[in-house]
Structure 1
Amino acid sequence: MSLVRVGLLGPGGIGARHVKALAQLPDKAKFVACCGRDADRTAAFASEHGGAVYTDFEAMLEREKLDLLIVALPPFAHTGQVEAAAAKGVHLLVEKPIALDMERANAMVAAADEAGIVAACGFMYRFGEAVERWDAADVGRPGMFTGFYHTNSLHSPWWRERALSGGQTVEQLIHIVDLARHTLGMPRTVYAKAANLFHRNVERYDTEDVSAMILGYEDGRIGLVNASNAAAPGKSEKGWKIIAERATGSFSDFNTGQVVTTAGEVKSETVRSDKDVFVAQLGDVIGAITDGRRPKVPLSDGADSLRIVLAARQSAEEGREVSL
């Protein structure tokens, strides 16, 4: 097969990260075009990274004959572009969160399924060396997942507004929630608390800056996840721990962790890597396209993890446990 022709929708920071990863796969893919609403910004992006410039998404789809579209839009900006690309048979990698409501998310998944295309969600943590080592280990049945995401930043103006970003739980903590769901499966219930304690006087900041949730399962397994946007400035600290039947895993990021065997002879393995998870993610998506298989992280995973964080937001608002 010839090189996979790749287009980008959303020439921002995360879009640049994807395009840089594509450059590490020159024998598999070619970046051909980018599309953004701001003509000057999109032209500047193309000047640095290459590709044709578009401000009309339909025109890019029509003219460039893309094989793969990377959708790196803020969550509020999803207005049917994924469905339009799927209808034309273009394969997809959609950044998380894939939407701000389940109606939009389900429409994306349904469009991709109907078109029979490869459609992946951008949960790149799942490609980390430490995460994959745990997945491959003989750990037995997992029973508890605990995790956190702590930072301190005002981010882009749209990020501060819940109507545009969904809030920290939806836009950031979803990475850790996805790992919890990947480990334990879909929970039966979600109970959450959230508040804006430290940014009440910041203009247009109406999302939470502290939150916590409990994921409940019928058989007694449990997930505990929390987040803050009032921690150490200039850092994005995250970590998680998994307690399973035959092993315990402690992770400081997706490439770094320790797996301790707890059944039989107790032994410890440390995993450290500088693996580029964006390159690994794109390699998997491109491989799925060329081999005719499902991607490692299908778009439906994006919908499932979104369902959990939206339930957590509902629980915090209503002060009750929410059933999924």
Structure 2
Amino acid sequence: MRLGIIGAGAVAGLHAHGADVLDGIELSAVCDLREDVAAAVAAPWGAAVFTDYQAMLAAGVVDAVVINTPHSLHRDMVLAAAAQGVHVLVEKPMATTLADCRLMEQACADAGVVMVVGMIQHFMAEKLALQAALATGQLGRVLMIHDYRSTDYRPGTRPDWFFDKEISGGGAFINIGAHCLDRCLWVGGAPAVQLGATTLRRFGAPVETDGAMELTLANGVQVRISIVSDTPDHIDEMLVVCELGTVTVDPRKGTFLEIDGTRSQLHATASHDIQDAFTAQLADFSAAVGGAAPSVSGDHATHVVELVLAAYRSAEDGTPVRLDEVHVASSPLG
């Protein structure tokens, strides 16, 4: 499978390295508006360099692409790839409206190509250790989840497009919150039926910098997500409360279990965990192209976008949103 990368920033190098170590995949092209940025990712692997993704798709040098670009660009890039018969791994969030999500899914289905949404949490070693512990039954049912993430949404700390709603779709919720929603739904084991949210705008930012969400899942699991900018220490922790014990998960430390006063470590963080996750995600995508079911379904990825939309609506209205009552298919995030 000849793989192209559209968007050479952030995690492009992790995708490129994954392609190098996996059998049956080669990095054949990298595209970025800045030729030097694309060349920096492409050079170690001898991949072609493009500054126009349409030209790359039309050149016939890729069978599949990773779309690693600002959120609102995902739709048009997926549609263009589908029109060329090219499979797609598109980074989260899938899109900025539910209408775009559905359009992307339909276009890929009509073209007979595979689209998978990159939800990296499903491949992180510390999260997999948590899921393995839950699968043994030793913890009983999941009852409650608290997910606490820090970030930095001070203007100037990240590229300008993150602060432009037309391009990003929002602030901390659609970016960091999408990760939190994804992993909480996965660990909680059901979609959400109700969501309430509040947001803050600090530092003079035009998008939300901080916020909190409270969710009830269809199976009764209670979820609270807190996202805070510019904290004294970086925080990325899930606390999972079960009938018979608790688990904490932190990619900087590992996975820890406590049952009846006895603590044990299920996973110790290693320096290669993040690269291993991106490699595993790419292998999962390749398997999906070959006919296997992907680890992350399109329905799940779309539901994450639906919840981000609902969170913005709840924060604006000041009331919880029932997911069976909200109709946001064509509503922009904001």
| TM bin (shorter chain) | 0.7 to 0.9
2:62/2:86 contact within 8 Å kept: yes
Tell me by how many angstroms 1:42 deviates: 3.0
Amino acid at match of 2:162: W
1:53 CA drift (Å): 1.9
Corresponding residue number in structure 2 for 1:97: 93
AA in 2 matched with 1:212: A
Residue aligned with 1:11, SS: coil
* Contiguous gaps of at least 5 residues in structure 1: none
Letter in 2 for 1:260: E
Provide, for residues 37-64 of structure 1, a one-character-per-residue CA deviation record: whole Å limited to 9, x for no partner.
3344434543455311223323322223
**AA partner of residue 151 (structure 1):** T
What is the identity, as a one-letter code, of the residue corresponding to 2:171? G
Is the 2:75–2:95 contact (alpha carbons within 8 Å) kept by the matching residues of 1? no
Pair 313,45 (structure 1): closer, same or farther in 2 beyond 3 Å: same
**Aligned equivalents of 1:46 and 1:63: distance in 2?**
16
- Partner residue of 2:57 out of 47, 55, 61: 61
Partner SS state of residue 172, structure 1? helix
Aligned partners of 2:41 and 2:28: how far apart in 1?
A: 13
| Larger mean Cα displacement after TM superposition, 114-123 or 73-82 | 114-123
| Deviation of the 1:186 alpha carbon | 1.2
Match of 1:163 in 2: 166
Runs of 4+ in 1 over 4 A off after TM superposition: none
Post-superposition Cα deviations, 1:151-179, rounded to whole Å, max 9, x if no partner, equal 23521111123332221110112111101
Q: Distance in 2 between matches of 1:254 and 1:125?
A: 14
Letter in 1 for 2:25: A
1:148 — aligned with what?
Answer: 148
Moved more, 71-80 or 185-194: 71-80
Task: State whether residues 63 and 86 of structure 2, in contact with CA within 8 Å, keep that contact through their aligned partners in structure 1.
Answer: yes
Residue in 1 that maps onto 2:4: 7
Structure 2 partner of 1:175: 179
Matching residue of 1:322: 321
Rounded to whole Å, the distance in 2 between the matches of 1:91 and 1:174 is 23
- The alpha carbon displacement at 1:255 in A equals 7.5
Instruction: Spell out the pairing of 1:74-85 with structure 2 (5 A cutoff).
Output: 74-85=70-81
Number of the residue aligned with 1:250: 248
Task: Give the letter for the 1:158 counterpart.
Answer: W
Shift in alpha-carbon separation, 1:35–1:218, aligned structure 2, 3 A:
closer
Q: For 1:280 and 1:241, how far apart are their aligned partners in 2?
A: 25
- Report the residue type matching 2:173 in the other structure: T
Q: Is contact 1:94-1:299 (8 Å) kept? A: no
**Greater Cα offset, 278-287 or 243-252:** 243-252
Q: Which residue of the other structure, out of 86, 106, 109, is the alignment partner of 2:102?
A: 106
Q: TM-score, normalised by structure 2?
A: 0.84
Distance across 2 between alignment mates of 1:296 and 1:79? 22
1:151 and 1:81 mapped to 2: Cα distance? 28
Change beyond 3 A, Cα 1:287–1:220: closer
CA RMSD of aligned residues (A): 2.4
Paired amino acid for 2:186: H
Over residues 76-134 of structure 1, what are the superposed CA-to-partner deviations in whole Å (9 max), with x where a residue is unaligned? 22342112222433222111112111111221122233344332211112112221122
Distance 1:176 1:40, change over 3 A: same
| Partner SS, residue 278 of structure 1 | helix
Partner Cα distance (2:6, 2:212) in 1: 33
One-letter identity of the residue aligned with 2:319: R
In the superposition, relative to structure 1, how do residues 267 and 228 fare at CA in structure 2: closer, same or farther (>3 Å)?
A: closer
SS of residue in 1 equivalent to 2:250 = strand
Say if 2:239 is the partner of 1:241: yes
C-alpha displacement at 1:236, in angstroms?
Answer: 4.5
2:215 corresponds to which letter in structure 1? L
1:110/1:243 CA distance change after superposition, 3 Å: farther
Q: Are the equivalent residues in 2 in contact too, given 1:209–1:230 (CA < 8 A)?
A: no
Structure 1 residues 20 and 237: CA distance shift in structure 2, 3 A: farther
Contact 1:143 1:245 survives alignment (8 Å): yes
Residues 79, 113 of structure 1: alpha-carbon distance in 2 compared, 3 angstrom cutoff: closer
How many residues are matched? 310
| Structure 2, gaps ≥5 residues long | 324-334
SS at match of 2:235: strand
Q: 1:65 Cα deviation (Å)?
A: 4.4
Instruction: Please give the secondary structure, in 2, of the residue aligned with 1:13.
Output: coil
| TM-score (structure 1 length as normaliser) | 0.87
* 1:218–1:91 Cα change, 3 Å: closer
C-alpha displacement at 1:220, in angstroms? 3.6
